[in-house]
Chain A
Amino acid sequence: MSACSVEVDRNLCKGCGICVSVCPKNALELSPNIGPSGYRYPVLKGECIGCKTCTLYCPDFAITVVCDEGGGQG
């Protein structure tokens, strides 16, 4: 089930937190670390179900969901 994870392009992420708030499983949180552009990027803290809602709402095209079995990009 937890075959999915998120990948964040830290050069594009602006740390707005939309992905954290739209995640239906509350599986994301903002990292305490700061990315190269000076913002806190999201990291996975819980189980990702691969719904890709964060991908749809990310305004900076930074977050992608990767699942193990086929069709990972979204």
Chain B
Amino acid sequence: MRRLRKHFSRKYLREEVLPTPFCPGCFNGVVMNVMFKAFEELGVERLKGYVFVSGIGCSSWIPSPHIKADTIHTLHGRAVAVATGVKLAKPNLNVIVIGGDGDLAAIGFNHLVHAARRNMDLLVILVNNLVYGMTRGQASPTTPEGMRTVTTPYGAYEPVMDVAELIARTNANYVARWCVANFNQLKNSIKEALSKHSKGFRFIEVIAPCITYVVRYEGKTPGQKIKELMKVCRPNTETPYGRIGILKAEDKPGYLDRYFEYVKRATEGDKGE
């Protein structure tokens, strides 16, 4: 028997760690496919010069053992802080942070907001699975009101935190929110964030409901849920997950530009005196 053709993503993956540890049908795998398709279309064959930083959580497993690039798996919530350090130490590297809603929006939200305020030159991909999936599906800050989880069996009653809109209010350069079913739009957003808007803070939120603790509780299969998301998530419309689409796209100077300008001013000032 001849050898099987390989999936296009597998040239970016450490194949010895496959299969992935995700549940059957987990949308984290689709997010990986989107990202690798974006890299493929940008002409990136080997991920040299890219650093992937993640914290703790299901979606933080996307880069850490899998992607064939430099990866850092750091403390819970501190992925953005570590990525800031990486970018300042090695400004020529492309630093990408991948984390979940529990990691970036709950415990590490202050790091996220302050990196956005500084317009730090990072690409942050928030894979929002709507619950704390790794600890068995408790309600998280991004759980939509009324959604049934293990800790809110009569529906979530806390008001929801709209992370993408909050980041769009800060100094960030590029903010977008897509569902995992918006494959092409999400891919184009990642491509724009890596090529056209390559300076400053780029934030992409991906709505990827947890297969085990959201979709199964709704009595649906992964296939049914992705078909439903394809219908619900129309670009530039209000959905139960907030407004879908590109929320902000600007070209302000990033933190590093300002920082090096400041260093230049300081050193030239020293010479003058």
Name A's interface SS: loop
> Are A61 and B4 in contact, CB atoms less than 8 angstroms apart?
no
Task: Compute how far the CA of A73 lies from the CA of B9 in the bound complex, rounded to whole angstroms.
Answer: 11
> Are A61 and B7 in contact, CB atoms less than 8 angstroms apart?
yes
> Are A59 and B8 in contact, CB atoms less than 8 angstroms apart?
no
> Are B9 and A18 in contact, CB atoms less than 8 angstroms apart?
no
> Are A22 and B6 in contact, CB atoms less than 8 angstroms apart?
no
Task: Compute how far the CA of A18 lies from the CA of B47 in the bound complex, rounded to whole angstroms.
Answer: 28
Minimum CB–CB distance from A70 to chain B (whole Å) comes to 13
Nearest A residue to B5, CB-CB: A64
Measured between beta carbons, the chain A residues less than 8 angstroms from B7 are 9, 55, 58, 61-64
> Are B221 and A12 in contact, CB atoms less than 8 angstroms apart?
no
Measured between beta carbons, the chain A residues less than 8 angstroms from B224 are 21
Measured between beta carbons, the chain A residues less than 8 angstroms from B223 are 16-18, 20-22
Q: How many residues of B contact A (CB 8 A)?
A: 31
Minimum CB–CB distance from B44 to chain A (whole Å) comes to 17
Task: Compute how far the CA of A21 lies from the CA of B18 in the bound complex, rounded to whole angstroms.
Answer: 24
> Are B25 and A59 in contact, CB atoms less than 8 angstroms apart?
yes
> Are B226 and A74 in contact, CB atoms less than 8 angstroms apart?
no
Minimum CB–CB distance from B187 to chain A (whole Å) comes to 9
> Are A72 and B226 in contact, CB atoms less than 8 angstroms apart?
no
Measured between beta carbons, the chain A residues less than 8 angstroms from B25 are 14, 16-18, 59
Measured between beta carbons, the chain A residues less than 8 angstroms from B9 are 61
Minimum CB–CB distance from B256 to chain A (whole Å) comes to 34
Asked if A44 is at the interface (CB within 8 A of a chain B CB), the reply is no
Asked if B147 is at the interface (CB within 8 A of a chain A CB), the reply is no
* Set A16, A63, A73, A74: member contacting B24, Cβ < 8 A: A16
Nearest B residue to A57, CB-CB: B30
Beyond A61-B7, A64-B7, whether A15 also contacts B226 by CB under 8 A is no
Measured between beta carbons, the chain A residues less than 8 angstroms from B33 are 56-59, 61
> Are A21 and B226 in contact, CB atoms less than 8 angstroms apart?
yes
Beyond A7-B4, A7-B5, A22-B226, whether A61 also contacts B10 by CB under 8 A is yes
**Given A14-B25, A57-B30: 6 more A-B contacts, CB < 8 Å:** A16-B223, A21-B221, A21-B224, A58-B7, A60-B18, A73-B5
Task: Enumerate chain A interface residues (CB-CB to B < 8 A).
Answer: 7, 9, 11-12, 14-18, 20-22, 37, 39, 55-64, 66, 72-74
23 contacts between A and B (CB under 8 A): A12-B18, A16-B211, A16-B223, A17-B25, A17-B221, A18-B222, A21-B224, A39-B24, A56-B33, A56-B34, A57-B30, A58-B33, A59-B20, A59-B26, A59-B27, A59-B28, A59-B30, A61-B9, A61-B29, A63-B7, A64-B6, A72-B5, A73-B5
A-B pairs, top 6 by smallest CB distance, nearest first, are A59-B29, A21-B223, A16-B25, A14-B24, A61-B7, A16-B24
